[in-house]
Structure 1
């Protein structure tokens, strides 16, 4: 365990958390072998904890439309643009696992324009970055171009919604100075 704090804000002890939150966190720990710091940092505000993870799971755990790796690509690329260390490191590890590619996370985090992406992935990342960086400039022609590239409206929505959700998440992680778990750095390298 790192000697650095997980958050600038209070982080409750596992034993002091509401039963439902503690049980969820223990299930995550059982599955992954450690507790990702986002769970501990957000447990400070139980109602927001549940709202955050409900939105996260609704966007990231779907099996239809975008693949799970494509969803993680969006998170890594947009989180890097937003300067979010926690999300780049944590979701970079998940992306390496889901894509079975030890290089893609670093490429997307450092320079998405030079990442080794398929044409489909390039459309996803370009649209996600526009949503994350300049959503006010999105016009009907942008959606039409995505449709011509083969995306349906649900996929276009998911790309934009993931970019938007993680823009909020990135800002919250930066506000709290949420520290990535050391375990994430070596995963799937």
Structure 2
């Protein structure tokens, strides 16, 4: 019989006090695999060897085939930008979903990308600080609203959100990318919030 997985205790580790573009830590509720426990099967599941440094990915590597499928989907949504939505707006969709779900860690990561690729740092910061109803301009407002609808419940997303995206100038491929980015992080937020929590990094 295998030994039970260790449950980690970190009640005294401080939470981040607000949504931010700054670096935020994350700590798991269950012990991830140690780096020296990773086999070729686990490394194949990680896809990128550098992810072996991450507690999050080493925890997900306990099921390496599922992790590999998850990672390849993630990479296709956010890095395959030859057509469809620009990278900045894919990251905006992920940021909006994360802000709505209350995932401080994911919001910090993807807001940094959204700010970097769009150069609209003030708008991204306003989204983090004021929430998903803040006004960011017609196109970004439509992307955020669609992402929020998908995040609340898939049934809340429909013809009205699609019409608003079309009116803001998005074509079919771009609308699909909004859906993919928001839907993926709607799921990813819930996973991260279930198996761990954000922490304020040590100074």
Give the TM-score, by structure 2 length: 0.72
Which of 11, 14, 30 is the matching residue for 1:9?
Answer: 30
Kindly report which structure 2 residues correspond to 1:1-189, keeping only aligned pairs within 5 A, or say none: 6-19=27-40, 21-22=42-43, 24-27=47-50, 35-63=53-81, 64-110=83-129, 111-114=131-134, 117-179=136-198, 182=201
Cα pair 2:27 2:196 within 8 Å, conserved: yes
Taking the aligned partners of 1:173 and 1:16, their CA distance within structure 2 comes to 22
Cα pair 2:103 2:189 within 8 Å, conserved: yes
Taking the aligned partners of 1:89 and 1:180, their CA distance within structure 2 comes to 12
Change beyond 3 A, Cα 1:94–1:148: closer
Taking the aligned partners of 2:96 and 2:65, their CA distance within structure 1 comes to 28
Taking the aligned partners of 1:139 and 1:41, their CA distance within structure 2 comes to 35
Quote how far apart the aligned CAs of 1:59 are. Answer: 1.0
Corresponding residue SS for 1:109: helix
Which is richer in helix? Answer: 1
Taking the aligned partners of 1:112 and 1:46, their CA distance within structure 2 comes to 34
Deviates more, 1:143-152 or 1:95-104: 95-104
Change beyond 3 A, Cα 1:25–1:146: closer
What runs of 5+ residues in structure 1 fail to find an aligned partner? 30-34
Q: Which has the larger radius of gyration?
A: 2
Give the TM-score, by structure 1 length: 0.77
